[in-house]
């Protein structure tokens, strides 16, 4: 059975690689003591799954500008871990149909127990990451009652049953704004202020390259631009995994 910790580990591997400099890898490891100056954060989870979920890091990780130069590293780690916990709630919903959310988030100084250990590796540097997981099924969650048996009708074939989880079905009618991104470019403010009619801004993408379909701030698909009844359209050539597409609406979970 997929747990909140399993979901957190999956999304943390992806988000850490995307958000941190050098695309470090997060892998399972044997537990070992944290280095001096360790720090961490704890999230309070409520819903169908509830409890406390804490993550701790070696203090030396703050010396590596994984979140960028000039950034408050500890505050940046707090923001990234909060985002990871939110995404784990969305992953749990997609995998099991159980709905939960982060209702509290705080900095911590130490945990007495360890549920799972990881290592974060960037180049030659390796840091220990320890997780303390107390998230369990809510006591108020009651098992679904077994349906009463009904006589089978030999003349009528059984109708196919839907395979979507109950939690996911609630999201299928949510309307989201989608947009196409042909490319982008960073420009100094002075150049932007000097723009006028007739000026041409060159983007970072070739005319033959696929364009992105954006939902929220996530790329959910790519393809080529076509005309449909006089309007622009997109012929999809590749799509993101379902879990990635669900991350664009994790704020609704």
pLDDT in tens, 180-225: 888 888 889 998 999 989 888 888 887 778 888 888 778 888 888 8
- Domain coordinates of the chain in residue numbers? 4-137, 174-188+204-252
pLDDT at 237: 84
In this predicted structure, the answer to whether residue 158 has a pLDDT above a threshold of 60 is no
Q: CA–CA distance from 151 to each of 78, 155, 161, 227 (Å)?
A: 57, 12, 18, 54
pLDDT in tens, 72-97: 999 999 999 999 999 999 999 988 88
pLDDT at 243: 57
Q: What integer is the mean pLDDT of 127-150?
A: 74
pLDDT at 245: 57
95 C-beta neighbours (distance < 10 Å), count: 19
Are the beta carbons of 122 and 64 closer than 8 angstroms?
yes
How far apart, in whole angstroms, are the C-alpha atoms of residue 102 and residue 92? 13
pLDDT in tens, 12-49: 999 898 889 888 999 999 888 888 889 999 999 999 99
Q: For residue 129, which of 116, 113, 143 has the smallest C-alpha distance?
A: 116
pLDDT at 156: 45
Span 174-188+204-252 CATH architecture: Roll (2.30)
225 or 130, higher pLDDT: 130
pLDDT at 150: 52
Assigned CATH topology for domain 4-137:
Chemotaxis protein chec (3.40.1550)
pTM, full prediction: 0.57
């Amino acid at each position: 059975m997929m747990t909140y910790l399993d979901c957190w580990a999956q999304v943390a591997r992806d988000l850490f690689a995307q958000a941190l400099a050098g695309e470090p890898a997060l892998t399972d490891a044997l537990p070992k003591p944290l280095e001096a100056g360790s720090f961490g954060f704890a999230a309070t989870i409520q819903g169908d799954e509830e409890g406390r979920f804490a993550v701790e890091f070696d203090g030396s990780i703050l010396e590596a500008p994984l979140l960028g130069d000039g950034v408050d590293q500890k505050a940046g780690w707090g923001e990234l871990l909060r985002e990871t916990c939110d995404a784990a709630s969305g992953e749990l919903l997609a995998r099991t149909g159980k709905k939960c959310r982060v209702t509290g988030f705080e900095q911590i100084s130490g945990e007495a127990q360890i549920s799972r250990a990881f290592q974060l590796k960037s180049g030659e540097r390796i840091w220990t990451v320890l997780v303390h997981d107390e998230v369990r099924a809510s006591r108020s969650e009651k098992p679904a009652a077994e349906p009463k048996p009904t006589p089978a009708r030999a003349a009528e074939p059984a109708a196919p049953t839907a395979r979507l989880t109950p939690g996911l079905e609630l999201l299928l009618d949510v309307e989201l704004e989608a947009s196409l991104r042909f490319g982008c470019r960073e420009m100094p403010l002075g150049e932007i202020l000097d723009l006028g009619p007739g000026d041409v801004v060159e983007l970072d993408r070739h005319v033959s390259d696929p364009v992105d379909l954006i939902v929220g701030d996530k790329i959910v698909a790519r393809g080529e631009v076509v005309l449909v009844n006089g309007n622009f359209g997109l012929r999809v050539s590749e799509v993101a995994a379902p879990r990635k597409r669900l991350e664009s609406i994790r704020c609704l979970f």
